[in-house]
Chain A
Amino acid sequence: MAILGAINPVLMAGLDGDNSWQLKDYVARGGYEMLKKILAENIPQEQVIAEVKASVLRGRGGAGFPTGLKWSFMPRSFPGDKYVVCNTDEGEPGTFKDRDLIRYNPHAVIEGMAIAAYAMGATRGYNYIHGEVWEMYKRFEAALDEARAAGFIGQNILGSGFSFELFAHHGYGAYICGEETALLESIEGKKGQPRFKPPFPASFGLYGKPTTINNTETFASIPFILKMGGESFLNLGKPNNGGTKLFSVSGHVNRPGNYEIPMGTPFSELLQMCGGMRGGRKLKAVIPGGSSSPVLPGDVMMDCTMDYDSISKAGSMLGSGAVIVMDESTCMVKSLERLSFFYYEESCGQCTPCREGTNWLYKVVHRIENGLGRPDDLDLLSSVTTNIMGRTICALGDAASMPVQSFIKHFRDEFAHHIEHKTCLVPKDVQWAGSGFHKVAS
Chain B
Amino acid sequence: MLEIEIDGKKAQVPDGSTVMDAAQQMGVYIPHFCYHKKLSIAANCRMCLVQVEKAPKPLPACATPVTNGMKVFTHSDLAVQAQKGVMEFLLINHPLDCPICDQGGECQLQDMSVGYGGMKSRYQEEKRVVFHKDVGPLISMEEMSRCIHCTRCVRFGQEVAGIMELGMANRNMHSEITTFVGRSVDSELSGNMIDLCPVGALTSKPFRYTARSWELQRRRSVSPHDSLGANLIVQVKHDQVMRVLPKENEAVNECWISDKERFAYQALNSDQRLTKPMVKQGGEWREVPWNVALDYVAHGLKDISREFGGDALAALAAPSSTLEELYLLQKLMQGLGCGNVDHRPRQQDFTSDGKRVGTPWLGMRLAELNNLDAALVVGSFLRKDHPLIAQRLRQAVRKGGAALSLIDLSADDQLVPLHARLTVAPSQLAQTLAAVVKAAAQQKGVELPAGLENVQVCEQAKAMAQSLIEGEKKAVFLGNAAQQSAAATQLHALGLQLAQITGATFGFLGEAANSVGAQLAWALPTGANARQMFEQPRQGYVLMGVEPEFDCANPQQALAALAQAKMVVLFSAFKHEPALAYADVLLPMAPFTETSGTFVNTEGRIQSFAGVVRPAGDARPAWKILRVLGNVLDLEGFGYNTSEEVRDQVLGGASEFATGLDNGLNGVTLQLPQAGQGMERIADVPIHFADPMARRAPALQRTRDAAAPAARMAAATLAQLGLQAGDLVRVRQGQGGAELAAALDEGVPAGCVRVAAAHASTAALGEMFGAISVERA
Using CB atoms and an 8 Å cutoff, list the residues of chain A in contact with chain B. 174, 176, 191, 196, 198, 344-353, 355-360, 363-364, 367, 374, 380, 386-387, 390-393
Is B46 touching A392 in the complex (CB atoms < 8 A)? yes
Write out the residue numbers on chain B whose beta carbons fall within 8 Å of the beta carbon of A353.
46, 85-86, 89
Is B46 touching A391 in the complex (CB atoms < 8 A)? yes
Is B172 touching A349 in the complex (CB atoms < 8 A)? yes
Number of A-B contacts (CB under 8 A): 95
Write out the residue numbers on chain A whose beta carbons fall within 8 Å of the beta carbon of B58.
390-391
Is B172 touching A360 in the complex (CB atoms < 8 A)? no
Within the assembled complex, what's the spacing in Å between the Cα atoms of A351 and B148? 10
Is B92 touching A349 in the complex (CB atoms < 8 A)? no
| Interchain nearest-CB distance for A147 vs B (Å) | 35
B37 beta carbon closer than 8 Å to chain A: no
Asked, given contacts A360-B125, A390-B57, A391-B82, whether A347 binds B172 with beta carbons under 8 Å apart, the answer is yes
Write out the residue numbers on chain B whose beta carbons fall within 8 Å of the beta carbon of A346.
171-172
Write out the residue numbers on chain A whose beta carbons fall within 8 Å of the beta carbon of B165.
none
Within the assembled complex, what's the spacing in Å between the Cα atoms of A118 and B56? 36
Within the assembled complex, what's the spacing in Å between the Cα atoms of A358 and B168? 19
CB-nearest residue of chain A to B84: A387
Is B171 touching A349 in the complex (CB atoms < 8 A)? yes
B65 beta carbon closer than 8 Å to chain A: yes
Write out the residue numbers on chain A whose beta carbons fall within 8 Å of the beta carbon of B450.
none
Is A356 touching B44 in the complex (CB atoms < 8 A)? no
Is B172 touching A355 in the complex (CB atoms < 8 A)? yes
Is A355 touching B43 in the complex (CB atoms < 8 A)? no
CB-nearest residue of chain B to A398: B57
CB-nearest residue of chain A to B82: A391
Within the assembled complex, what's the spacing in Å between the Cα atoms of A218 and B707? 59
| Contacts beyond the supplied A355-B173, A356-B92, A387-B86: 15 A-B pairs with Cβ under 8 Å | A196-B43, A345-B172, A349-B170, A349-B173, A350-B149, A351-B46, A355-B149, A356-B93, A356-B173, A358-B173, A360-B89, A380-B122, A387-B89, A391-B86, A393-B43
Within the assembled complex, what's the spacing in Å between the Cα atoms of A196 and B174? 21
- Interface residues of B, count at CB 8 A: 37
In the assembled complex, 5 residue pairs joining A and B whose CB atoms fall closer than 8 Å, in A order, are A348-B175, A352-B45, A360-B123, A360-B125, A387-B86
B41 beta carbon closer than 8 Å to chain A: yes
Write out the residue numbers on chain A whose beta carbons fall within 8 Å of the beta carbon of B407.
none
B577 beta carbon closer than 8 Å to chain A: no
Main secondary structure of the interface of A (DSSP, over half): helix
Q: B65, B88, B122, B171 — which one has the most chain A CB atoms within 10 A of its CB?
A: B171
CB-nearest residue of chain B to A191: B168
Is A356 touching B174 in the complex (CB atoms < 8 A)? no
| Interchain nearest-CB distance for B500 vs A (Å) | 37
- Leading 8 A-B pairs by shortest Cβ distance: A349-B175, A387-B85, A390-B57, A356-B89, A363-B125, A196-B43, A347-B172, A359-B173
Within the assembled complex, what's the spacing in Å between the Cα atoms of A353 and B86? 6
Write out the residue numbers on chain A whose beta carbons fall within 8 Å of the beta carbon of B148.
352
Is A351 touching B45 in the complex (CB atoms < 8 A)? yes
Write out the residue numbers on chain B whose beta carbons fall within 8 Å of the beta carbon of A393.
43-44
Asked, given contacts A367-B125, A391-B86, whether A352 binds B46 with beta carbons under 8 Å apart, the answer is yes
A-contacting residues, B532-556, CB 8 Å: none
Within the assembled complex, what's the spacing in Å between the Cα atoms of A364 and B123? 9
| Interchain nearest-CB distance for B179 vs A (Å) | 15
Is B89 touching A348 in the complex (CB atoms < 8 A)? no
Write out the residue numbers on chain B whose beta carbons fall within 8 Å of the beta carbon of A351.
43-46
Is B172 touching A344 in the complex (CB atoms < 8 A)? yes
CB-nearest residue of chain B to A374: B124
Within the assembled complex, what's the spacing in Å between the Cα atoms of A350 and B124? 23
CB-nearest residue of chain B to A175: B171
B63 beta carbon closer than 8 Å to chain A: yes
Write out the residue numbers on chain A whose beta carbons fall within 8 Å of the beta carbon of B122.
380
| Interchain nearest-CB distance for A189 vs B (Å) | 14
Within the assembled complex, what's the spacing in Å between the Cα atoms of A384 and B39? 31
Write out the residue numbers on chain B whose beta carbons fall within 8 Å of the beta carbon of A348.
171-172, 175
Write out the residue numbers on chain A whose beta carbons fall within 8 Å of the beta carbon of B43.
196, 351, 393
Within the assembled complex, what's the spacing in Å between the Cα atoms of A347 and B123? 19
Write out the residue numbers on chain B whose beta carbons fall within 8 Å of the beta carbon of A360.
89, 92, 123, 125
Within the assembled complex, what's the spacing in Å between the Cα atoms of A392 and B63? 12
CB-nearest residue of chain B to A397: B46
Within the assembled complex, what's the spacing in Å between the Cα atoms of A348 and B46? 15
B49 beta carbon closer than 8 Å to chain A: yes
| Interchain nearest-CB distance for B416 vs A (Å) | 19
Is A352 touching B92 in the complex (CB atoms < 8 A)? no
B126 beta carbon closer than 8 Å to chain A: yes
| Interchain nearest-CB distance for B96 vs A (Å) | 14
Within the assembled complex, what's the spacing in Å between the Cα atoms of A360 and B46? 17
| Interchain nearest-CB distance for A403 vs B (Å) | 17
CB-nearest residue of chain A to B175: A349
Within the assembled complex, what's the spacing in Å between the Cα atoms of A231 and B541? 98
Is B172 touching A391 in the complex (CB atoms < 8 A)? no
B90 beta carbon closer than 8 Å to chain A: yes
CB-nearest residue of chain A to B47: A352
CB-nearest residue of chain A to B64: A198
Is B171 touching A391 in the complex (CB atoms < 8 A)? no
Within the assembled complex, what's the spacing in Å between the Cα atoms of A367 and B88? 20
Is B44 touching A350 in the complex (CB atoms < 8 A)? yes
Within the assembled complex, what's the spacing in Å between the Cα atoms of A359 and B85? 15
Write out the residue numbers on chain A whose beta carbons fall within 8 Å of the beta carbon of B90.
352, 356
A-contacting residues, B148-184, CB 8 Å: 148-149, 168, 170-175
Write out the residue numbers on chain A whose beta carbons fall within 8 Å of the beta carbon of B175.
348-350, 355
Write out the residue numbers on chain B whose beta carbons fall within 8 Å of the beta carbon of A176.
171
Complex interface bits, B83-111 against A, C-beta within 8 A gives 1, otherwise 0:
00110111011000000000000000000
Q: B47, B122, B170 — which one has the most chain A CB atoms within 10 A of its CB?
A: B122
| Interchain nearest-CB distance for A174 vs B (Å) | 7
Within the assembled complex, what's the spacing in Å between the Cα atoms of A359 and B171? 12
Within the assembled complex, what's the spacing in Å between the Cα atoms of A392 and B44? 8
A-contacting residues, B114-161, CB 8 Å: 122-126, 128, 148-149
Complex interface bits, B377-400 against A, C-beta within 8 A gives 1, otherwise 0:
000000000000000000000000
| Interchain nearest-CB distance for B88 vs A (Å) | 7
Within the assembled complex, what's the spacing in Å between the Cα atoms of A344 and B175? 12
Contact of B49 among A356, A380, A391 (CB under 8 A): A391
Is A387 touching B88 in the complex (CB atoms < 8 A)? yes
Within the assembled complex, what's the spacing in Å between the Cα atoms of A380 and B175? 25
Within the assembled complex, what's the spacing in Å between the Cα atoms of A191 and B44? 15
Asked, given contacts A360-B92, A393-B43, whether A352 binds B86 with beta carbons under 8 Å apart, the answer is yes
Within the assembled complex, what's the spacing in Å between the Cα atoms of A349 and B42? 13
Write out the residue numbers on chain B whose beta carbons fall within 8 Å of the beta carbon of A347.
171-173
Within the assembled complex, what's the spacing in Å between the Cα atoms of A363 and B57? 27
A-contacting residues, B606-660, CB 8 Å: none
Contact of A196 among B41, B57, B86, B126 (CB under 8 A): B41
Within the assembled complex, what's the spacing in Å between the Cα atoms of A357 and B89? 7
Write out the residue numbers on chain B whose beta carbons fall within 8 Å of the beta carbon of A349.
149, 168, 170-175
Within the assembled complex, what's the spacing in Å between the Cα atoms of A91 and B428? 60
Write out the residue numbers on chain B whose beta carbons fall within 8 Å of the beta carbon of A344.
172-173
Write out the residue numbers on chain B whose beta carbons fall within 8 Å of the beta carbon of A198.
65
Is B44 touching A359 in the complex (CB atoms < 8 A)? no
| Interchain nearest-CB distance for B133 vs A (Å) | 18
Within the assembled complex, what's the spacing in Å between the Cα atoms of A393 and B124? 26
Write out the residue numbers on chain A whose beta carbons fall within 8 Å of the beta carbon of B170.
349
Complex interface bits, B467-506 against A, C-beta within 8 A gives 1, otherwise 0:
0000000000000000000000000000000000000000
A-contacting residues, B266-312, CB 8 Å: none
Contact of A391 among B42, B85, B92, B123 (CB under 8 A): B85
Within the assembled complex, what's the spacing in Å between the Cα atoms of A374 and B122? 12
Write out the residue numbers on chain B whose beta carbons fall within 8 Å of the beta carbon of A352.
44-47, 86, 89-90, 148-149
CB-nearest residue of chain A to B85: A387
CB-nearest residue of chain A to B86: A352
CB-nearest residue of chain A to B65: A198
Within the assembled complex, what's the spacing in Å between the Cα atoms of A374 and B63? 39
CB-nearest residue of chain A to B88: A387
CB-nearest residue of chain B to A176: B171
Within the assembled complex, what's the spacing in Å between the Cα atoms of A198 and B124? 36
Within the assembled complex, what's the spacing in Å between the Cα atoms of A174 and B41? 24
Q: A345, A360, A380 — which one has the most chain B CB atoms within 10 A of its CB?
A: A360
